[in-house]
Amino acid sequence: MMGQSLARRGVLFPGGPIVDIRSLLQMPTLYSWFQRAVGSDHGRRVYVRDHVRPCAGDAILDVGCGPADVLEYLPAVCYHGIDLSERYIDAARRKYGDRATFRVVDVAELAAESPRAFDIVLANGLLHHLPDDAVTHLFRVAAILLKPEGRFVSIDGCFTSEQSYLARYFLSRDRGLHVRQPEEYLNLARQVFPNVRGNIRHDLLRIPYTHLVMEAAAASASQLPLPHSTSQGRAA
Ligand SMILES: C[S@@+](CC[C@H](N)C(=O)[O-])C[C@H]1O[C@@H](n2cnc3c(N)ncnc32)[C@H](O)[C@@H]1O
């Protein structure tokens, strides 16, 4: 009974009026712990292998990098992470400062300071935190920052008609206020990138959850290389 009451008040389940557990995720250690608890180790490994496909020596810009946990899954790349949160950036610098650089930046103020500098621009779990105009701004800047053969790669939770009730429930409780349907993410990307591919995946976390992975080629002439085949991924 007590559990039910606490749950209704948001103490046990996120989003309630008394203690919103989601706010605790602003703490880098708790965020990384929570990610691992829901299965991010497997998810990041598969995402990097199938979609990011980095090569040693690649210049990578990770926008909304958080504590930069993705670095555990990348080869020896030249990594630059930016995030709005000073806490996350401080934690990332403490852990990875010897092999990467970090800066506190709001996407809305991201400037195309070094055109054609990056092989890959990443946005992992970021787009569903941003309104449409900020997403479009990010895409426009990324298109300038990418080398002609470079790629923009993102992953976000999404709503689909085929997902389970539980997946829909978890997505509806996300901290991000802009969880979209796949076509909504893809249409935003297509305003800027001429060649965008979406992949819907239900297999990246231990809990029921649906992700859209987007890959966009920087230059109009280039074609995205075919991804590794996946048992669960399906084109959006
Ligand atoms: C779900 S977390 C993902 C963190 C990391 N990319 C990962 O995969 O674990 C979303 C991140 O986006 C960042 N973020 C949200 N809005 C932002 C903005 N306007 N500018 C830059 N970063 C932002 C948050 O601070 C947070 O670190």
From ligand 1's centre to the CA of 4, what distance in Å?
Answer: 32
Nearest protein Cα to ligand 1, atom 4: 66
What is the band of 31 on the pLDDT scale with cuts at 50, 70, 90? confident
Largest CA distance in the chain: 62
Angle, vertex CA 83, rays to CA 78 and CA 89, nearest 5:
75
What is the band of 233 on the pLDDT scale with cuts at 50, 70, 90? low
Residues in the chain: 236
Q: Please compute the mean of the pLDDT values over residues 185-208 and round it to a whole number.
A: 96
Nearest protein Cα to ligand 1, atom 13: 64
Q: Mapping DSSP to helix (H, G, I), strand (E, B) and coil, where does residue 121 land?
A: strand
Predicted TM-score (pTM) of this structure: 0.87
Per-residue b or e along 200-211, where b marks 16 or more CB atoms closer than 10 Å to that residue's CB: bbbebbeeebbb
Token duo for residue 54? 């980095």
Q: Which helix (H) or strand (E) holds 83?
A: strand 78-83
Question: With contact defined as beta carbons under 8 Å apart, do 183 and 217 qualify?
Answer: no
Q: Please compute the mean of the pLDDT values over residues 89-113 and round it to a whole number.
A: 96
Nearest protein Cα to ligand 1, atom 1: 125
Domains of the chain: 1-26 (no CATH), 38-235 (3.40.50.150)
Side chain identity at 223, as an amino acid letter? Q
> Of the residues 51, 83, 104, 211, which should be mutated to test ligand 1's pocket, given the most ligand atoms within 8 Å of the CB?
83
User: What local confidence, expressed as pLDDT, does residue 174 receive?
Assistant: 92
User: What local confidence, expressed as pLDDT, does residue 221 receive?
Assistant: 42
Dist. CA 75–CA 220, nearest whole Å: 28
Token duo for residue 66? 């958080």
Written in H, E and C, the secondary structure of 166-218 is HHHHHHHCCCCCCCECHHHHHHHHHCCCCEEEEEEECCCCCCCCCEEEEEEEC
User: What local confidence, expressed as pLDDT, does residue 9 receive?
Assistant: 36
Q: Is 129 in the pocket of ligand 1 (CB under 6 A)?
A: yes
Question: With contact defined as beta carbons under 8 Å apart, do 139 and 191 qualify?
Answer: yes
What ligand 1 atom has the least distance to the C-alpha of 69? 9
């969880």: which residue's tokens?
Answer: 179
Q: Is 64 in the pocket of ligand 1 (CB under 6 A)?
A: yes
Q: Is 124 in the pocket of ligand 1 (CB under 6 A)?
A: yes
What ligand 1 atom has the least distance to the C-alpha of 65? 6
